[in-house]
Structure 1
Amino acid sequence: MSGNYDFNCNLAQTLNIVEDKWTLLVLHRIFNGKNTYKGLQDALAPIPTNILSKRIKTLEENGLIKAQLYSEHPPRYEYILTEKGMDFRHVFNAIIIWSNKYLDGCNKNVKHEKCEANVEIKYYCKSCNELVEDITIK
C-alpha cells in the first residue's frame, strides 16, 4: 500500500488498514460468505492475484480475519472473520445507507428482517440507556 498515516487519529489509523480500493471489498466478500481464495478471486474479478494475497495478509495481520485449514491435501484455507472483523458490519451498513441516499446505481439496502423496511443508523448511549442525537467526537 502507498504508506501509513503516522498520527494519532481513529480515522487515519483505520485507513492504514483499509486504505486501498480492494481491502474493504475483500473484507465485505468474506463477510458475505466468499471465504476461500478462489471464491474471493471469482467474486472480485479482475483483482490481480498478488493484490488479493497482500490484502488477505493485511487483514490477517491486523486481526480482522484468520485463515482456517479446510483441506490438507492440497492445503487449502478459508478465511474467517474475527470479532474485530465482524464489527466492520456496522461500517458496511453505514456505507450502504449513505450510498443509497447520495449515489445512483446502488441496489442494496439495509433492511429490518421482520418487516423488510429500510433501517437507519441511530446512536445509543450505553451509560444512559437512551438514543442520542447530540453526539461529539473528543
Structure 2
Amino acid sequence: MSQHEREADWSGLLSDIDAQIPPAEGVPEARSNEKSDLLTFLGSAYMLKVLHEFVLDPGPWRFNELRERLDVPPTTLTNRLKELTDAGLVVRESYDEIPPRVEYTATEKLLDFRPVFGCLGIWVEKHGWEEVRSEAPEES
C-alpha cells in the first residue's frame, strides 16, 4: 500500500470516527489533517511504548534507564526522545557535570495522554488482546 493510500485510509477512518463521536463541550474540533499527523507521529516505532512509560512515571529518566526498561534500540530511543522533545512533550535537561548527565521529564502536555491510555486499558479489559490477535488474519 502506498503512502497516499495509507493517508486516504486514515482520512476515511477519521471521518468515520468523527461521525460517531460528538465533540466534547468546550473543546475545539481538530482538523482532519492534524489528527492524521498525530496518528502518524504516534505510529512511529516504539512511540506509544515510550509515551506510556512517561505517563506511568513522568521522570526524570536517564537515557540508559529508559533503554533498559523499554528494551528499545538505542538509535530508535534517541530519535523518539528528540521527537518528543521537539513536540514539547518531554523536557531534556542537560547538567554540566563529569561525566555528563542528561534527564528527560514528561511535560503536562504529555501527561494529558493519560486518558488515552486509560481508554486503551478499558478496551483491553473488555475485549482481551490475545482474543483479538488470534482472530486477525495472517499477513502474507
TM category, shorter: 0.5 to 0.7
Larger helix proportion of the pair: 2
> Are positions 1:51 and 2:76 aligned together?
yes
Match 1:20 to one of 27, 39, 44: 44
SS in 1 for 2:88: coil
Q: TM-score, normalised by structure 2?
A: 0.62
Q: Aligned Cα RMSD in Å?
A: 2.6
Question: Counterparts in 2 of 1:124-135, with a 5 A limit?
Answer: none
In the alignment, structure 1 residue 82 sits paired with structure 2 residue 107? yes
- Give the TM-score normalised by the residue count of structure 1: 0.63
CA contact (8 A) 1:69 1:76 kept: yes
Name the CA distance, whole Å, in 2 between partners of 1:71 and 1:39.
19
What is the 5 A alignment of 1:48-127? 48-69=73-94, 72-104=97-129
More relative contact order, 1 or 2 (CA 8 Å, 6+ apart): 2
- Give the share of equivalent positions with the same residue, in percent: 31
- How many residue pairs get aligned? The number is 102
5+ residue gaps, structure 1, are 106-138
Question: 1:61 corresponds to which letter in structure 2?
Answer: D
